[in-house]
């Protein structure tokens, strides 16, 4: 294995994973039991204390949707 660069930089930004990163990945079951336990104990955000958002439906013209999709980048 060659000398790999860290997954995060000084600001905590995660770099793009490479083929080498994926080749070196191991399944969760291969991690030490103590690490598996610690990772299982991580909690998500959970439910909102009081709902702050309302679900709705909005209809857009095709050209408006196309504009949204064009600016969405990788996340869209």
Question: What are the residue boundaries of the structural domains of the chain, listed by start?
Answer: 13-42
Distance between CA atoms of residues 21 and 7, nearest Å: 9
Q: Residue 66: enclosing H or E segment and its boundaries?
A: helix 62-71
- Predicted pLDDT at 51: 79
47, 53, 54, 64, 69 from 50: Cα distances, Å: 8, 9, 11, 32, 31
- Predicted pLDDT at 76: 54
pLDDT digits (tens, 9 = 90+) for 1-52: 566 788 898 999 999 999 999 999 999 999 999 999 999 988 888 787 887 8
- Predicted pLDDT at 50: 83
């Amino acid at each position: 294995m060659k000398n790999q660069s860290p997954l995060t930089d000084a600001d905590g930004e995660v770099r793009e994973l490479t083929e080498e990163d994926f080749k070196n990945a191991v399944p969760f079951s291969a991690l030490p039991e103590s690490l598996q336990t610690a990772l299982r104990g991580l909690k998500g955000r959970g439910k909102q204390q009081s709902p702050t958002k309302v679900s709705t439906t909005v209809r857009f013209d095709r050209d408006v949707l196309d504009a949204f999709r064009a600016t969405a980048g990788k996340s869209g």
